[in-house]
């Protein structure tokens, strides 16, 4: 899982003309869920987002307080495009978890954040909708978080790891339950490139 | 080098009460320059930012047009916090290029973008200032780009690479010209954690 965390003075989400969510000072978190993510990634990400020291203390000492310390808010929005693999200049999103699986997974993350912090401090976008996210990045301060089991950029893999990946690819030419093999085409309903209501999706935004 | 690229309906930068820069449709790019970056990273990053297909074409086909194809604008802001290494929950920025070196390096990136595209389409923040970046993320669509020679997350390095790093660390216990050894303390003036006018810096924002 990848998260882009922006420290904000305020942030809000609108769908069409309607503002559906807003926060004051705090964090705007864009969350990219990968097909490989598990509960371990959720635990790591929630812990880090809520405890990252991105705020100053009462004496102006930077990087000393977390969003929870300051009782600030969090606006969390699912963002499959963070799980992008470039094919030349064209983004490919087959590493993103499919909308069907990502929606309950994402709700679980929100739930976990709410119970760890306070329910009323965690705001949300509208999963699958075409949204405008209004972000007032304060500083700016932007941090990228990657959960421990996130897939590495293929260019940065060692020879041994590449070999291992190739083996796994060969092994799973048949039907795969794991969803880990990016080379195996997924059923249409599980394809985040399909117009089936993934986060940020509108049919006009996607490939036919 | 890392870039967080947000597709925007509009974006602007203000310093204090004054709006110093703004764009309409296009890309808001937050750029994190590392101590290891070279011209090769600049070339890669400029090429990718300007050619990434993040916009739809006139028939609504997604991911088919670049910011240059559509004649949209780019707002580019330097963002050293992207070169963050977490020490527990505290961000450490010693992997970021120092402000003294990063400012000309960053200006070179802007210049390169302007000559590759059109000078008037590339807008800028104010390097070293405490800014508010107003971003209207459209979709949302957010892409993380990492240039080929960017340092890998240490947890993802192979054993051999770790060994190599340890060797380099040992070799450069003396004064180092390369600036590549994160374990060697840098002179105060080169420390991006120091209050010496790095991007996004205000003295109250930094550690004493």
Using the Cβ of A98 and the Cβ atoms of chain B, whether some distance falls under 8 Å is answered with no
- Cβ distance B133 to A135 less than 8 Å, yes or no, reads yes
Using the Cβ of A91 and the Cβ atoms of chain B, whether some distance falls under 8 Å is answered with yes
Residue B15 has pLDDT above 70, yes or no: yes
Give the percent of chain B with pLDDT over 70.
71
Using the Cβ of A59 and the Cβ atoms of chain B, whether some distance falls under 8 Å is answered with no
- Cβ distance B62 to A206 less than 8 Å, yes or no, reads yes
The two three-digit tokens of residue B195, written as one number? 């209050």
Rounded Cα–Cα distance for residues B142 and B29 (Å): 10
Tell me if residue B14 falls in helix, strand or coil.
Answer: strand
Distance between A177 CA and the closest CA of chain B, angstroms: 26
Residue B203 has pLDDT above 50, yes or no: no
Residue of B nearest to A129 (CA): B139
Whether A192 contacts A93, CB under 8 Å: yes
- Cβ distance A52 to B89 less than 8 Å, yes or no, reads yes
Residue B190 has pLDDT above 90, yes or no: no
- Cβ distance A131 to B152 less than 8 Å, yes or no, reads no
Using the Cβ of B162 and the Cβ atoms of chain A, whether some distance falls under 8 Å is answered with no
Nearest to A96 by CA among A107, A87, A85: A85
Give me the residue label for tokens 């925007």. B8
- Cβ distance B142 to A82 less than 8 Å, yes or no, reads yes
Distance between B199 CA and the closest CA of chain A, angstroms: 8
Residue A110 has pLDDT above 90, yes or no: yes
Using the Cβ of A86 and the Cβ atoms of chain B, whether some distance falls under 8 Å is answered with yes
pLDDT for the residue B150: 58
Cβ under 8 Å to B: A residues 117-146:
125, 130-144, 146
Give the percent of chain A with pLDDT over 90.
70
Residue A104 has pLDDT above 80, yes or no: yes
Of A53, A79, A141, the CB nearest to B81: A141
Whether A52 contacts A143, CB under 8 Å: yes
Using a CB-CB cut-off of 8 Å, the residues of chain B touching A143 are 81-82, 84, 91
Whether A32 contacts A176, CB under 8 Å: no
pLDDT for the residue A148: 84
The two three-digit tokens of residue B94, written as one number? 């010693």
Residue B194 has pLDDT above 50, yes or no: no
Distance between A131 CA and the closest CA of chain B, angstroms: 5
Q: How many Cβ pairs within 8 Å bridge chains A and B?
A: 148
Quickly count: other Cβ atoms within 10 Å of residue B99's Cβ: 23
pLDDT for the residue A176: 34
The two three-digit tokens of residue B108, written as one number? 């070179």
Which residues does residue A29 pair with via DSSP β-bridges, in sequence order?
Answer: A5, A76
Give Cβ neighbours of residue B167 (< 8 Å, ≥ 6 apart): none
The two three-digit tokens of residue A22, written as one number? 């807003």
Whether A122 contacts A114, CB under 8 Å: yes
pTM higher than 0.90, yes or no? Answer: no
Q: Which residue has the higher pLDDT, B102 or A180?
A: B102
């Amino acid at each position: 899982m990848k998260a882009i965390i922006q420290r904000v003075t305020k942030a809000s989400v609108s769908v069409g003309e309607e503002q559906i969510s807003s926060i004051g000072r705090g964090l705007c978190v864009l969350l990219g869920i990968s097909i490989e993510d598990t509960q371990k990634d959720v635990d790591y990400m929630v812990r880090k987002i809520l405890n990252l020291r991105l705020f100053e203390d009462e004496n102006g000492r930077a990087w000393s307080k977390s969003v929870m310390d300051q009782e600030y808010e969090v606006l969390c929005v699912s963002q499959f495009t963070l799980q992008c693999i470039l094919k030349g200049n064209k983004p490919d999103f087959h590493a993103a978890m499919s909308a069907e699986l990502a929606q309950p997974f994402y709700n679980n993350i929100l739930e976990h954040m709410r119970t760890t912090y306070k329910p009323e401090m965690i705001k949300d976008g509208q999963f699958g909708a075409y949204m405008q996210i209004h972000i007032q990045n304060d500083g700016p301060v932007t941090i990228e978080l990657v959960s421990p089991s996130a897939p590495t950029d293929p260019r940065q893999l060692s020879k041994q790891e590449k070999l291992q990946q190739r083996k796994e690819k060969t092994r799973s030419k048949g039907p795969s339950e794991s969803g880990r093999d990016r080379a195996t085409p997924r059923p249409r309903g599980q394809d985040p490139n399909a117009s089936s209501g993934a986060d940020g999706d509108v049919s006009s935004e996607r490939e036919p």
